[in-house]
Amino acid sequence: MSKSLWIILVVVGLVAPFIVYPVFMMKLLCFALFACAFNLLLGYTGLLSFGHAAFFGGASYVTGYLVKTGGLTPELGILGGTLFAALLGYLVGSLAIRRQGIYFAMITLALAQIVYFIALKAPFTGGEDGLQGIPRGKLFGMIDLGQTYSIGGSPVALNLYYFIFALFCLGFWVIYRTINSPFGQVLKAIRENEPRAVSLGYKVERFKLMAFVISAALAGMAGSMKSLVFQLASLTDVSWHTSGEVVLMTLLGGVGTVLGPLVGAFTVITLQSELSSVGSWITVIIGVTFVVCVLLFRRGFVGELGRLLKKSL
């Protein structure tokens, strides 16, 4: 993809907190990274995980716990959450890749449900309340992430925003590099024709597991970021609704496109905040979007645009 587009995106990200409501931007960045991580699995390896909330939410609990109770600095908290998600991804992945296609989706969903029950019942997760009031802390023990600056009369946590933005860029870069590496080429080969990849001598299982672990780790990082932004780790983060939401973001934006998950996350997050007045009808709207998307434009926004421009976006 062209360099100028990347530069524009980075500039937009840098000036965004001066223009858009920063909490919205940070939420968007967290979910966009989550969707990108998910897309690495669905779009580039052809594996539909219906349990990605386990990594997102699980890591957000771990980070919350480490920072709040353990008193760790935010970067260590996020590292802890990400490593936890990677480990969990290894366990779930090794089990789930034993079956294919539709079974894979059901297994990941069921395993994620175990994580949900743990979050509900374990003594350190706060049950129905979740972990509340997670401190933002001092980055490397020096930079106060809670500090706010007045922009246009309202306080904005700029330090936190740029920290989150930097993490997003790091995560996105890892995904981009993965997709465009020889490793990523093998993943695409598996997606297109698994038996053929096997016959070419690739140890398909190992590649799938590796992709699963990377995807889980980055989904975890997104969840860790979220717990610092909202200072909250809740049951919603680990529930199957969240797993479904990330599928929708990816599908809506365009499965297997680099920019699709960003567009999809933007659309869904905007819908949610614009329609927050309709309350629980939002579930119905999400459902309708799902149905329309599956029936009418399976390529998603970016995929359809790419087809019109005859370019891979």
Residues near other proteins (CB under 8 A) are 48, 95, 98-103, 105-107, 109-111, 113-114, 117, 121, 240, 244, 247, 251, 279-284, 286-291, 293-295, 298
In whole angstroms, how close is the CB of 297 to other proteins at the nearest point?
A: 12
What totals of helices (H) and strands (E) does the chain contain, helices first? 14, 6
The DSSP secondary-structure symbol of 113 reads H
Report phi then psi at 233, rounded to 5.
-120, 120
Helix axes 240-253, 101-121, angle to 10 degrees: 140
The DSSP secondary-structure symbol of 153 reads T
Residue 302 CB neighbours (<10 A):
23
H or E element in which residue 33 lies? helix 22-45
Place of tokens 């009031």: 133
Give 48 or 156: the residue with its C-beta nearer to other proteins: 48
Give 29 or 47: the residue with its C-beta nearer to other proteins: 47
Give 110 or 143: the residue with its C-beta nearer to other proteins: 110
What is the DSSP secondary-structure string of 277-313? Answer: GGTTHHHHHHHHHHHHHHHH-TTHHHHHHHHHHTS--
Give 148 or 272: the residue with its C-beta nearer to other proteins: 272
Task: Return d(Cα 14, Cα 25) in angstroms, integer.
Answer: 11
Its sign, for the CA torsion 178, 43, 55, 99, is negative
In whole angstroms, how close is the CB of 125 to other proteins at the nearest point?
A: 14
Among residues 103, 115, 90, the alpha carbon closest in space to that of 48 is found at 103
Helix axes 182-192, 204-230, angle to 10 degrees: 110
In whole angstroms, how close is the CB of 19 to other proteins at the nearest point?
A: 33
Give 19 or 294: the residue with its C-beta nearer to other proteins: 294
Give 26 or 42: the residue with its C-beta nearer to other proteins: 42
In whole angstroms, how close is the CB of 294 to other proteins at the nearest point?
A: 4
In whole angstroms, how close is the CB of 280 to other proteins at the nearest point?
A: 5
Task: Return d(Cα 313, Cα 307) in angstroms, integer.
Answer: 9
Q: Length of the chain, please?
A: 313
Give 12 or 294: the residue with its C-beta nearer to other proteins: 294
Strand, helix or coil for residue 15:
helix
Give 291 or 309: the residue with its C-beta nearer to other proteins: 291
